[in-house]
Every structure is written in C-alpha cells, then in structure tokens.
A and B are shown apart, each in its own frame.
Chain A
C-alpha cells in the first residue's frame, strides 16, 4: 500500500522524522517496500523575487537580475531566460547547491563582467519536467524565502509498505497510524463523530435476497449534489498513490478505502432502475460492464448488487459502469456493506480482478465501522459537493465480532524470551485498541477490537487423520487454550521490537553432538563425492522435462504430469536423472564441449506416492577420453559407466563379491552393451551401459555416450561388524597364468567364477588380464587370459601340487564354458 506522508499525518499526530517512521514501520511488521521523496534533492531551493531585470551590458541575450532571496540580501544573478522580468517570482539555486537537471553543483561566477551569485531555474533544471523555454514563473502570492518544494507540496514523501495477509486493518492509514502510535511514534487522531440530519426518506432501499451475497449493508442518499473535480489536496493524494482522480464523489470513496480501509461504492440514483437494490447471487447468463470498462460473465457463485435492470456491481470487488457517478450526478446513493472474505477472494480470483476493495474485503474489514464510516463519508461529500442527506437504510445484521483473549505475563519470557513488565505489555495492547476487562498479577484479559479479526479468531484445525483420538483431542484443546495468548504475545513483541529480545544460543546436550546424518544420508553425500573424485561434475537440474523426451527413458504416467507447467516442454516429472544429464551433455556439445562427465543426485519419479520417488545418483559420460601422450583417446563406453557405478557401490559398502551382472537393462541403453548390477536375484542396485543410438538421435547427441544410475534406496545398510584378524600367511603366494579359447558368447564372469571354484582353499584370487578377439583366432572365438593366485598355508607347494591345482582350474573352466586351453 502506497501513501503520502501528509495523508498518514491526517491520522497520526507526530513530529517524528521520516527515517524514524520508516524504521518503526519495518520493525513492527509493516515492511517498507520503498520511499519516493522527490523533494529531498531540491530541499535547498528557495522562492525568490526578481527585484529588477535589466539588459546585460555586454551580451544581447542575457539579462542582469537583482534577486531577493528573502534573507535580507540582494543578489546579482545573470540569466538567459527570455521570460525573466522585473517583479516575477521564481526558484533560486545558490552556490553549493546541486542542480539535478544539469548535474552541476553551482559556483559563484562572473559572466561577461557581471557578477552571478545564483541561478534562477527552469523546470528541467530542477528535474521536474521538460520545460526549458524559460525560468519557473511562480504566482504573485508565492512566499519569498520559503523552500520551493514545501510550497509546491513536493516535500511529501510517498511511502510504500507491504501489508501481510493477516492485517486487513493495516490496509488503511488509520490502522497504520494506530500501530505507529502504539509503537511510541505519536498520537492516533480520533475519528470525528459527525451528526448527520436526515432531510428526506431514502429513494432506494436494500434487499438481501441471498445471505451468501452479503451479511450486512447500509446506504444513504444525498440529493442536490454538484459533482465535479475534487479539491487539489485530494487529487494530489490520489495521484501520489497511483490512482486517477475521477470526480469528487468517486474520489471520496477512495479517500475512505485508503484512509479507513473502508471501501464504499456510490450509485447515481437517477441511473438505478426501480427503487430496490437487491443483494443476490448472479444468474448464469448475467454479465456486468464494470467501471474498468471490462465485461465480466457472472456465475452463480458471484454475489452481486442488482437493480430492476440487472447487475449493477460485483459486490465488494468492482462497481458497474452503468450506474456510476459522473459530473451530471445530482443525487448519489452511498453503499457501505460487509461481505464474506472467502467469497470475495474466490470471485476476485475467478474473474482476475484486483481492486483496492477486493484486497480489503478478502482480508476482512472492520465489522463495527459501517455506521460511522457512512456518516463520515456523507459529511465529506456534503462538504465537497453540497446537498442534503437522506435517512439511512439497511438490511441484514453485522456478524458477531466481540471476542476476548487472555495473556499470562509469564509467557512473555516463557515463549517470547523477552523481559517486558506487565504494565508495558498492557499499555501496548491498550494503545492498539484492546480494552482491559480484567487484570491480576498473573494475567490480563482484554476485549479484542472490532478491526482485529486475526486475534482470537475462530479456530480451524486440519488434524492428521491417523492420529489416535485422545492425542488429537488433547492437542486441539491445547491449541484452543494457548492460541489467543500467542496472538496477544505477538502484538506485544512486535510493537516493542524483536531486536530487544536477548539472543540465547541453543543449548546442546553435550560438547560433541550426535551425528546429524543417518548412514543412508551420509552415503548419498559420499556417492556424490566419489563420482566427483572420478572426474564427474555434480549437476542440479529441473526435475521435469518434455513428455516426449521423458518417454525415451521409461513410463510417463499421467499421474506425474503437471497440470500447470510453466512451459509445455517442462511438464513431465522425469523417469530418471539420466534424461536431464543427457540433455545437458547435448547443450554442452552444442557449445563446443562434447567431452563431459556429469552426475546428479536426485529423484527418479515413478508415481506420486512417497515410495514412487526414488533416490538415485546418476551419471553420464559423453564423447571421448582426453588426448594424452600416455594413453590414446577413445570413445566412452559401457565399461566407463560400469566403473562409475561399481565405484559408488564399493564406496557405499556393497560387498563386491556379491554383485552380479545381468543383461536386462532398461530400453534407453544399447541392448548389447548394457547391464544391471544386482545383489542377489531380486535387488537391483544399478544399471549401466552405452546410450541407445535411437535415444541419442532423438536428443541430437552426435557423439557416443554412456550412462548409469545407482538406486540408493536399494542399497542395504552396511553391517557395522568389527573386522576379524587379518589373513597373513607365512608362505609366499604363487601366481599362474592360463589362456582359454572360448566362444564369443562366453562371459569373462563365467570363466573367472569357474576358476575360483576350482579350489576354494588354495585359490585366493583370479583376475582377467587379457582379452583378445581378432583375425589370429578362429571366427566367433575369443581368448581370455587369467591369473590365479595360489596361497599355501601349511607348507610351500610342491610342483606336483601346483600341477594338480592348475589341472583342476583348467578342467573347471573347460567344463563350465566349453573352453580349450591355449598352448
């Protein structure tokens, strides 16, 4: 909400400087969004009179002026303006003043032999407009010596505050002034109580046909009004807050909307059809041409005000064009109503109308104010436009708003951590309009003022449906008991200032706190670090992408498609982070960086349930390995991705011996160059492989790419067993190499497993050290070379024993794989 300081001062009697007002607003929860102080830069410029203007002796186009700045001196000023003349009044800048329109700080000087001790300014030189045809020419009655900005009303800073949704009362200058006064910044000026004499019966009356449309409404006519432009002060205020002055009757409604937070509406009685204004719900086929010129198609959920001819106003939101007041209005009817905040919010949202009235009604207006507000508005309208008032007509009843609340003084320290004497706390509440009903040493009970619908409000709980009944009831009772107290405590603390509460470090149970992370959480962070240590860059990408792209990577259920995406290509929750990373690899390639290694820890979305959002760490390598003298560059492949996945699993404590590989990886991988890493037959730990050429083509990824995903939720918690004693045999191990010729379909794993199983006592390790497939071998055959480590434990092995083990290894491999031993 924007307001000029002078308007605030209509409600607040204060001598506080602007800076104090701003600091206090910030402190008490009325955050200052901005201040526009046009006068500050021109504060030094004064109104001065040209005592005499003569032709400059040495320059045709210049004049030599004698200027009276109002301080008893007479100054010599050289001026080039064609309109400079004897007796005129203008705006004088003196040496040392910064002239904003020229960007120069003035210095005394001499122009062609004549002393110049100041400058008479044009509007452009002051930064107040474009006019540079001459110097500012002020009216005869402008007071010499007075700061120009004060006289011109430019020294009225415009303050903008943001008002939180709970504070409907602060969407008014009276409410803001009340808060500031409570915080010690002056005195709230009480509202006058005018006596309005009813001169005639009202030409219109109210009828509430549907209570949903309105709770309570008042109205009164004024006849014999002469509508026209508002006085300057009112127009200035409205312009300052960004409203367009319309005419006096309409401008007065805005004066009340901002001044008292009390939206009003004015009907031109002559334009109303019939003599009844009905508050009802709209019919489906009705529409309203509103004051903003737009036409709204109404729904049966919209509360309206209608006359015999149909809708005249979307109640509490915007009035109709047809019955609005204009210069020709001679009899006006003022509406002052109370509407249901939720209905106003819904209607406003449905039609996307943002008005000052809606903003106030949806937060809730003061239910006790309408009679006084109506009288005050009547008074101002008669002052500005003349005329005489009718009697007041009404319908409905104001909702019951009287409530009380108690505060135990102990809670100020017990919950607020603040040391506030009871007298001070009660004083703050009283200044905010709370009336003390009872007080003793322990507590105070106050009546809540009508304008604070946020204090001791009706309690709406939305409790967890699975709570045991007893626990739910106790919690609800507890809430009912303490909530009004918290409301009051907040008022005391915010007005007093939260900065005065001493900060206390949180007590910790011991010097060394317990671990912050569960083992599972530490594993996720470790996985990220393992991959980064393997050269991958940790990425963070959006969890949604285009449905078509997502479909390349798995199921794309409608249940996880956004109803309101920010863009059509960001609507499907991703099936795997691999998708995001491949898109990123494509973008990097397009920028000239085709060789990337990217990883992301994030969710894989399968369905909207918590269990359907898997925690995954995924990685993508694209392009080639680096060119290097020690190792030729090569395209990334499935083995790179497998290495990454295994590194993560190993770091997270998965026993490597238990991991098996199957060839049933998801469809976004190359079917022949991908695999699934499992622990046991059921648990899928990870997938890896080359990315399917079809997927790469769809993503415009030209080079090769390999990817993996590790399912962190699937990894069993590592057992925290103490290690046994290390195995440190006294005898040296022996190593023997074997090369087998196998069918190309035989896997390395089959050969290694068979060899390991040949003698579980003696063979401690078998490793593949060569794989050869090429033209020196028969078609369809591969050579696999392994090294077996034999570890004797009781005595050094004899040649015979070694030969026997070697034979068993060969026999086992031949039996398992149909291999032949190469010579």
Chain B
C-alpha cells in the first residue's frame, strides 16, 4: 500500500469521525469539546498539520493540499453545527416562554396612553369620498400590480407612445411575454370598471400609485384620486361644474378661482389642465393672482371607451385625476412631501386627524 492512499484513508476517517461527533453533540458544550478535539492546539487535525514537516518532500505538496481542503471542510461543518445548535437553543428557550394565547386580552387603553390618529392621506381620502359621494359617485378600487394593458394599452398609450416615457414605470418580471407594472395612475381601475359594468358609471378611484422617481417633490409611491363619469349627455360643462364644486368645497373657499387650460392626455379628448388661484409667495389659496396647476381632466377618449366595449356613439363622459398628497399639502400648508411615508411619530402626531371625527358634509370637510 502506498503512502498516498494511506494518507487519503486517514483523512477520510478523521472527517467521518468528526461529522459523527458533531451530530452526537447535543449542546454547545459538547460541540465545543468536538471543536477543541479537532482544531484546538492538540486537536487531531492540528497534529496532522504539525506532522507535515516529516512527510517526504515529493509528497508534501499533495499531502498539504489535502490537509488544507480537509481543514476547510471541517471548519465549515463545525460552524454549521454551531448555528444549528444555537437556533435549537433559541427555539428551546422560546418554547419554554410559551404563553397561553387563548387568554382574553387586557382592557384597553392602558393608563396614560396617547390618542392615536388618522394619517393626513387617509383623512383626505375620506374627505374625497364624502364630497364626491354627495355628487353621486361611488368608490372603485383595484390592484397595485397591474397588467400592461390595464395601465397603458387600454388607455390609448401604445407601446412606443412618448407618454409612456413620462411615466417612469416600475416593471415586474414578464408573464407570458408581458411585464406587469406597478400602476402609474389609478386609471386601470377605470378600465376594470368599464369592462365589468355597463354605463351609466360614476366612480372615484382613490389609491396608491407608483413611479420610478425620487427627489424632494417626487416619491416612488404616492396617491391619486381619479374620477370617471359615463352617461348620456354628459358634457365638458359638467366636468367643469363637478370639479369646481369639489375644489371649492374641499379647500373651503366658496369663491376659489378655477382656470381651465387646453392640454393633452392620450386617454381624454378634449383634455384640459385645471389651475386654482393662489399667492405664489405666501402660499395662500384663493387670492393673489397666481395660478397653480392642480389636476388633469378631459372627456373620455372614444378609443378608451371602445377598448372597454362601450360604444362612443351612445355613451360619453369625463375623467379626471389629481394627486392626493398635493391637495393635502396645499390644504393644510404642509411644506414637505417626504415625511408622509417615514412614519415618524412626531410628524404623525402633529398632522394626524382625530379618529372620532370622520369628515362630515354637515360640518364641512
């Protein structure tokens, strides 16, 4: 038998024996004994490494390499077993900490507990529901992760349309060749509503929206409310009336100046942007002679109706959309967008609304 095979055998035996000893070690103390017995000063592997000097020079390189590989393997096994034993020890401790979870909870609140509060975005959403509810709207909702068709195609934004570039879309891995998106607006819910429901339709769609843009005035996640009215005889005049009624009630300024400018969106025609009067310097709304763009709107494009199976010869209507953070900040004079999503309790306590006073038309939102 040659020296080489002999060394292979003794190394394999050491590895097998150490593995068995580790498996048998039931706690960290036993584990440590195995570790010291193998890798410690007078451990078995250490002894073999020390003996390397006595190996004939022509075999030393091969033997040294084998020993080093074995050392790596044993260290790995020992470390893995330690992690296993520690996890088991934690689990054992945790199971000893078992609590009877069927106990009835304590009465609430504990003495001295602070009042909680409603986030300004949630509050604005409730106000939107109240104000548009009074105009006969109901609320429609839909998923955040959307198909490309619902978010773009159905809305007359084909693949290469320049408007797609403006949307800074977040994409998810493709399914059947199409990449789902995080919806860039809540318009896909308008599409879902038109596909699912025959006109007349009168819905608002509040919800989370997403765009790959992050700076002082843009958040990658934000909120929009959109509105959709499909009926017979609905005109641009109704769109104007609906928005003026809403804006004046929401901001609580009965003579708030509202300006309508022609614009373009792929999903409406005619399209218009809407400005409200304010003072650029002081931030005061309603007076001051400056204009602030606040929302986009228009008559639903016949292609969008046709994409959803609605005959534009018979039905027509309008749609609009605005940023919830934006109108919230304007209404309350909040200076900065970023804290909205940081859950800083100091900021939340400052801006949160009283949970026991939901918005009411009787009191004015």
Contacts and interface: CB of A to CB of B under 8 A. Distances in A.
Contacts of A629: 111
Interface stretch (A129-137, A260-268, A667-675): A667-675
A474 interface: yes
A417 interface: yes
A139 to B, nearest CB: 41
B221 A542 contact: yes
B27 interface: no
B297 to A, nearest CB: 10
A654 interface: no
A771 B101 CA distance: 13
Given A566-B214, A613-B144, A478 B312 contact: yes
Interface of chain A: mostly helix, strand, loop or mixed = mixed
B341 A462 contact: no
A602 B133 CA distance: 23
Interface in A160-191: 164-167
A463 B106 contact: no
A493 B270 contact: yes
Contacts of A663: 101
A509 B139 contact: no
B109 interface: yes
Nearest to A349: B165
A135 B110 CA distance: 78
B99 A588 contact: no
Contact of B236 (A345, A418, A537, A689): A418
B352 to A, nearest CB: 6
A358 B130 CA distance: 47
Nearest to A602: B208
Contacts of A599: 116
B195 interface: yes
A393 B213 CA distance: 47
Contact of A483 (B102, B175, B303): B303
Contacts of B214: 566-567
Contact of A587 (B110, B153, B342): B342
Given A29-B262, A566-B214, A514 B138 contact: yes
Interface in B22-42: none
Interface stretch (B10-18, B49-57, B117-125, B280-288): B117-125
A460 interface: yes
Interface string B333-349: 00000001111111011
A413 B234 CA distance: 10
Contacts of A630: 111-112
B138 A516 contact: yes
Interface in A491-519: 493-494, 498-499, 501-509, 513-518
Nearest to B129: A516
A83 interface: no
Contact of B108 (A460, A534, A542): A534
A449 to B, nearest CB: 18
B175 A608 contact: yes
Nearest to B161: A165
Contact of A537 (B161, B212, B240, B345): B345
B173 A416 contact: no
A756 interface: no
Contacts of B94: 670-673, 692-693
Contacts of B109: 534-535
B64 interface: no
B115 to A, nearest CB: 7
Contacts of A362: 162
B143 A613 contact: yes
Interface string B84-120: 0000001100111111111111101111111111110
A692 B95 CA distance: 12
Interface stretch (A209-217, A398-406, A555-563): A555-563
Contacts of A748: 100, 102-104
Given A346-B160, A493-B236, A565 B270 contact: no
B81 to A, nearest CB: 18
B235 A562 contact: no
Contact of B345 (A487, A596, A610): A596
B316 interface: yes
B303 A533 contact: no
A742 to B, nearest CB: 10
A626 B111 contact: yes
Contacts of B135: 505-506, 508, 513
A672 B95 contact: yes
Contact of A464 (B158, B233, B309): B309
B177 interface: no
B108 A543 contact: no
A582 B351 CA distance: 21
Given A498-B270, A530-B355, 14 more contacts: A461-B303, A487-B269, A515-B133, A517-B133, A525-B358, A529-B358, A535-B109, A535-B113, A537-B349, A537-B352, A542-B341, A563-B179, A573-B145, A605-B144
25 contacts: A26-B261, A27-B262, A363-B162, A415-B235, A417-B235, A417-B237, A417-B238, A462-B158, A472-B309, A478-B305, A478-B306, A501-B240, A504-B237, A505-B241, A509-B136, A533-B355, A535-B108, A537-B116, A538-B352, A540-B122, A562-B172, A631-B111, A672-B99, A748-B102, A748-B103
Name the 3 nearest CB pairs between A and B, nearest first. A417-B237, A516-B133, A643-B105
